[in-house]
Structure 1
């Protein structure tokens, strides 16, 4: 539940007004969980004491005609961090949010042209002007954190995201490896495997030594989805001009960096690339769905 006070619930309370023109109504939940009006009091921490900190807050933006423009909760389930500057722009969103203490909810009403100029740095969209040139913001403040606390939290969340992604990649790799091994068995093919996990089948051996990291390689290729055989790209579609890239620096998917590094000049090979070494869970457009194993027929034309 967003716990934002709805405008209809606050009709009996008049708006207070800041010198900048921003109007506000403040609320705090009582012991029964009902929101009661709250006025700014001398015991409130002054804005200056919160400057440089971060307020986490849920927000909902509405037009003057009460049409919802954006709900932060619908976009992301966690409260959004808002940095409180030492000198907030009068009439801007940060000035209004600086009135809130954790646990407060509020309804703010801004002249739309003012808040768009002060906070968003652009002109008011015409449809908002036609709705009365008013922007209403419903806000629910959750936590007040120092910048160090906020950075530590973000680092912790990032670590959790990376850990989860790594776990998912391991599980997906197991599925992909099973698919690749089944493909090799069905086609009576033998493949080698790079340390990183890319399978490669040498169709024609080249000469000399393989390229090194940092060298520019030129490759002819045809890419297909392993499970369906559907082609999604090839140099034949590009006037058969070899594709050039710098090896080992992340200009291509990891499976290419790994596989091409195993070839010598003039080699022809098939690369079988598990999805975490290709486009992973995000896929690549309509032709490469998420978690797709890719098959590439490649020829290392030359390198320097």
Structure 2
């Protein structure tokens, strides 16, 4: 089945601040919503699909947005009073812009295990802009394929421009990852099927903000089989350029990092960069280090 998006009660947002309650309609479960811009198309029917762009906020802090990237799709179903943004979908038209408001207090009654940034008294906002209404999954798939091709081009252009603007001496390989080799390494070659142990420092490409690192003393490298999809595609193709002892930097476009999923910065299609060091290369998965405070499994020293 074509992958679609159904917004959960744990996410909502808006580009607009909440207006007075008299400006809003209310669903049977108590969700408030407002059509802030009326489209000219017919009202959506049950079973059709909405093609939308969205922004999600909690209070005035943005959680996520698809604006400037790929649209998302959601099937319009007949749902009951479930305190879910999906209650509003069947009232929409092509061209509509709508803001949906949910109270965290009400969400907590349904699910007390909400993310820690959602607190009592907060409001969740979901702003939807309906770009189109589609009849079936075949139409959805055709648009998704076209949008994905366009998104890849946009993602690649961001990294291409960054490399050029900063005059970085790096090679573009594979599907679009750039590799800057500081030391190629002189040990065993990192190749598909090998188990590699890698230390890294990850940053958001456009801001340089560091989001994770194992480069500090005392931190262990991560070990994984190369080329089998256990890491992001940019790693699978980039680390193959090194041997044991190799050091360098990978510059990875969004479609070769987390794609449409939220990346380390919380947004889809984020371009990333990684300083990496290939600590070791193995033919088989190495055994974990023995904790010196624990006796060996077989009881022998």
Identify the structure with bigger relative contact order (alpha carbons < 8 Å, sequence gap 6+). 2
TM interval, shorter chain, is 0.3 to 0.5
Which one has a larger percent helix, Structure 1 or Structure 2?
1
The normalised TM-score by structure 1 is 0.47
